[in-house]
Amino acid sequence: MYTEETKLDFKNISDNLILDFDFNDMIFFDIETTGLSRTKHMIYLLGCLFYKDNTWQSINWLATCLEDEEQIIKEFFNLLKDKKYLIHYNGNSFDIPFVQSKARKYHIDTNTIDRITSIDLLRICRRYKSFLNLPNYQLTTVEKFLNINRKDIYSGKELIEKYYDFIKLYSLDDLKGNYEKSNELKEILLLHNYEDIINMLPLMNLYKYELLAKGNIVYDSHNITENILQINYKLKHNGMPYTLPNNLNLTIGANTNTNTNTNTNTNTNTSVAPNSNINITSTDDTLTIKMPIITGELKHYFDNYKDYYYLPHEDTAIHKTVGQYVEKEYREQAKANNCYIKKTGQYVYMPVSTTAQLPIFKTNYTSKDTYIELNEKFLTNELSTYVLTVITSML
């Protein structure tokens, strides 16, 4: 077995991270295998990145013969003993089950890896895919998104043949004439695994999207210009500014349904603008949300329609505690699709139809697009609730 250890100067990277756990508790890992089957194929290379003695260090164990797999597992488990967080990319589906299977094969206690908290960076990418907007979530694609450059040019599949070539050369008693080629193959194998593990550290910046999703923003200002509401926030966590891995430029759009009033009374005057898109951008530590202000008549539907009467002549619903005083020929039991009140005013698009404190308006009962009224109460008390609803609607 060949072991390669490296001390790394990653201070600039780690200083930029905002995490809720200590570096000393973290360990990144990645495996290279001769195939996808846990029973037929082997782990020929395993690499780790960890923090020790105030510096980041990497270690890679390369099997120089097929019998080295057991020792690689033992060395890895020994390094895991004092760690709390095992970080990887797609490791929940592939790397961890593969290692557990091999440990059981060699009668190695799996408690060391079973009890550790697993953090799969692929799952974080998928959780915030609306923010990333990538064509796929292969590790190399995410690296490019974060402006991480690789020297390695091979895929894991391409390296399998190179590994078999390597052990054939390495196993020869006389390496004369073969040493240079053997060493070249070894460096190719190690580089791929080395870059897999060290590139996961800057990938931890993806956690900043979680800060945003959890509302780690501070109101700065808002203004209305030419029927556009702009809201500005500062990205802050525990009072400290932060920046996202890449500037945002996102659009949330409404389905601009035409008015399909189902009531016999069609005297409505709904003039909802066709462009209700909300635009979210970020630059450095500033988050900006822009949305068109829609002017017109919309309807607020009551959920408990059985408690209401519908008044056809007024085209409105009224609660039975009041409606009981209306003559019977001028009222009827409300239905779900006519249990509403109409209001003319200014509105902004709401991406989801439910929120704790904001009354929802629609053009008609079947419309999927929902709006909230733009008034002083909204601007004074409900702005942050609205913005957080907009952000979380993308997840």
Which tokens hold the place of 187? 């460096």
| pLDDT for res 353 | 54
| pLDDT for res 361 | 93
**Start-end of CATH 3.30.420.10 domains in the chain:** 2-207
Output the CA torsion 74→160→36→28 (10° steps).
Answer: 50
| pLDDT for res 174 | 52
| pLDDT for res 258 | 29
Average pLDDT, the chain: 89
> Is the CB of residue 88 less than 8 Å from the CB of residue 119?
yes
Fold observed for domain 2-207? Nucleotidyltransferase; domain 5 (3.30.420)
Using a pLDDT cut of 70, give the percent of the chain over it.
91
Strand order in the sheet with 370-373: 294-301, 340-350, 370-373
- Cα dihedral 152, 50, 101, 164 sign: positive
Is 84's pLDDT higher than 70? yes
Is 269's pLDDT higher than 70? no
Q: What DSSP string runs through 302-364?
A: -S-GGGEEEETTTTEEEEHHHHTTS-GGG-EE--TTT-EEEEEEEEEEESSS--SS---BBSS
| pLDDT for res 262 | 31
Is 180's pLDDT higher than 80? no
List pLDDT tens digits, range 92-121.
999 999 999 999 999 999 999 999 999 999
State which H helix or E strand residue 57 sits in. Answer: strand 55-62
List pLDDT tens digits, range 217-252.
999 999 999 899 999 999 999 999 999 998 999 888
Which tokens hold the place of 283? 């630059």
| pLDDT for res 356 | 52
- Say if residue 362 is exposed, middle or buried (CB neighbours under 10 Å; 0-12, 13-18, 19+): buried
pLDDT (mean) for 332-360 = 86
**What does DSSP say about strands 26-33 and 85-88: parallel, antiparallel, or unpaired?**
parallel
Is 266's pLDDT higher than 90? no
| pLDDT for res 172 | 67
The total number of residues shown for the chain amounts to 395
Confidence of residue 70 (pLDDT cuts 50, 70, 90): very high
